[in-house]
Structure 1
Amino acid sequence: MNIQAHPWQPTADLANIKLRSRVLWNLRDFFHSQGFAEVQTPVLSRDTVVDRHIDPISLPGNAVSVAELSDDTFYLQTSPEFCMKRMLAAGFDNIYQIAQVFRSGERGSYHNPEFTMVEWYRVGDDLSAAVDLLSQLLQTVIPDCQPTRQSYRDAFLQYVGRCPLDCSVAELSTAALAHNLAVGANWSSDRDDWLNLLFSEVVQPRLGQVHPAIIFDYPASQSALAQLSSEDDRVAQRFELFIAGIELANGYNELLDATELSSR
């Protein structure tokens, strides 16, 4: 059917809409079976995102047409994280949310200004328990799914040939040039810039091509909100999920020390 001739029709395929409905049903069924409570937090709020790399969509207070709010600024939430953490601080334990979220400047093959995010928290979990829960969720939603697990270090060694925890900026620069990345040898003096470049351009496209891949133990310098590993303080208890080279989930064992968080 010609969509251009019928602009009133949804752009999503009917089969995909039905598939999405089944996935959402399975998600809710999974979380409820694990003892989670579903919550719903504000989409429009005076609070905004704390991540400097994410831009929110703002709304002037006078657009709300309430006199006492006319001088305020409101924000469409980029994730339900802040509001859900307030709930955790108030005494909730296992909570999840399927939320509509919004981000300014997000437009492309894999991004949209508005999208659906699933966010969950379970008090008391360590990294291993969090990764186990993610694996169980995947196996519930995706038939015959067998997620793999690999440390950031091992994935970097496998595809880049350098240890990301020990190598110098010069070694990372050499590796980038060897992989024909379009940067100069002196592109940056920051190790994390080189790590991010090599991971996103060399490692990530190879992840999750056969089975979903969970990468864990990210460098501490890239995990400001996560607790450090008790076995190696060069890495933090952070993990990400990749399917067909696309990052679909990000999690970590939350840092609870306010003094340490401030120093980072």
Structure 2
Amino acid sequence: MNTSTSQQSDRLQAIRARAILYQHIREFFGQRQVLEVETPILQATAHSDNRAMIVQQHITGEHSSDPQISLQTSPALAMQQLLACGCGAIYQICKVFQHTNNVHEHKRKHSSEFSMLAWYTPDATFTQLMQDSQDLLAHVFGYEFDIETISYQDIFARRLDMNPHQADLKQLKNLARRVGLNINYGEDRLAWLDGLFCHFVEPTLGYNQPMFLTDFPVEKTAAAQTDINDDDMAVAAKFNLYIDGLKLVSGQVTQAEQVIENQQTILKQGRIFFGLDRLLMLLMDKHRIDQVMSFSSPMR
């Protein structure tokens, strides 16, 4: 079989695998009577969102450059607005577009255009979101997962012998120098924390068994509900699910302000995002995200 024929065969395999995956996802939500929705891909974007891909004005038919119009980095806002209408639990399979500056991540596990499953549930608890994620994975794979749960603080202590909630900028810089992280994040404490996590913690997660990582720093997840951990420290009610070093799922309990019948109301919502291309990587036993894409995007 020549290279061209082999590539065509691989692409057809990815197309069929994706179709089967989406069929299983819709079966799962149909059994739970969760409503499938669709929201706009174009959105007004804050100038500070450096992940956004700005769309040229002639495409949108607008001449003003303020606000900027971009391809969505997340369907979160539109789906929160639907929840405020009282439609109950909802989900959608959609395209999301995000810049990344990490060349290694871009090639192996990230594409500028990728597919996401977004699932919102009114009044969901943190424990319920973790169980819901586990149930969907079991439906897709056809068997139950035994998932380890560990906090962001404990995994940092295990891998780098540091408490990420208490470490100051100087301590993070010293740690980065000791472990050989040759990147300068200036005086941005969170950037140093993210750099250490992305290079020395995240790639090790979920290999012995799938892992829920919980209790993130509140500074990193402004929209999430705040809880208190065993050390009486404020943490974000958020989790990530890792399998074989891939972040597959992100979930959190959010508290959003909505105006309902002219009254300001706080709505608690459970939000789960699945990376569908990464899920296909696991299902097909592939090591790069481009191996499961059925198209060749000019943005990749």
TM-score by length of 2: 0.73
1:72-221 map, 5 Å: 74-104=69-99, 107-144=106-143, 145-183=145-183, 188-221=186-219
Q: Deviations over 1:201-252 (max 9, x none)?
A: 1110110113222111101111111111045452111111222212222221
Instruction: State the alpha-carbon separation in 2 of the partners of residues 85 and 77 from structure 1.
Output: 14
Among candidates 59, 66, 71, match of residue 63 of structure 1 = 59
> What is the match of residue 45 of structure 2?
48
SS of residue paired to 1:215: strand
Cα distance in 2 between the residues matched to 1:12 and 1:89:
43
Query: What SS does the aligned partner of 2:96 have?
Result: strand
User: Percent identity of the aligned residues?
Assistant: 29
- Unmatched tracts of structure 1, length 5 or more: none
SS of the residue corresponding to residue 255 of structure 1 reads: strand
Corresponding residue SS for 1:229: strand
Task: Name the amino acid aligned to 1:34.
Answer: R
In the TM superposition, what whole-angstrom CA distance separates every residue of 1:142-165 from its partner, at most 9, and x where no partner exists? Answer: 244322211111111111111112
Amino acid at match of 1:47: A
Greater Cα offset, 162-171 or 210-219 = 162-171
Counterparts of 1:109 and 1:82, CA distance in 2: 29
Alignment deviations for residues 149-196 of structure 1 (CA, whole Å, 9 cap, x no partner):
111111111111111122333332332223222247xx5433322221
Relative to its length, the structure with more strand (as a share) is 2
Q: Does the CA-based 8 Å contact 1:220-1:233 persist in structure 2?
A: no
The question of whether the paired residues in 2 share the 8 Å contact of 1:48 and 1:56 is answered with: no
Q: For 1:180 and 1:37, how far apart are their aligned partners in 2?
A: 48
For 1:181, give the aligned amino acid.
L
Cα deviation code 1:25-66 (max 9, x no counterpart): 1111222223311111122x3533687242124132x336xx
Aligned position for 1:35: 33
Question: 2 CA distance for matches of 1:188 and 1:63?
Answer: 38
- 1:197 maps to a residue whose letter is G
RMSD: 2.9
Give the total of aligned pairs: 250
Contact conserved, 1:100 with 1:114, CA < 8 A, in 2? Answer: yes
- Amino acid corresponding to residue 227 of structure 2 in structure 1: S
Q: Output the CA distance in 1 between the equivalents of 2:117 and 2:47.
A: 19
Displacement of 1:96 in angstroms is: 0.3
CA distance 1:59–1:105, change in 2 (3 Å): farther
TM-score of the superposition, structure 1-length normalised? 0.82
The letter for the 1-side match of 2:95 is Q
Contact kept, 8 Å, 1:229 with 1:235, in 2: the verdict is yes
Task: Tell me if the contact between 2:241 and 2:250 (Cα under 8 Å) persists in the aligned partners.
Answer: yes
Residues 153 and 163, structure 2, Cα contact 8 Å, conserved in 1: yes
- Segments of structure 2 that go 5 or more residues without pairing to the other structure are 259-263, 267-300
| Structure having greater relative contact order (Cα 8 Å, sep ≥ 6) | 2
The residue that corresponds to 2:292 in the other structure is: none
Does the 8 Å contact 2:228/2:234 carry over to 1?
A: no
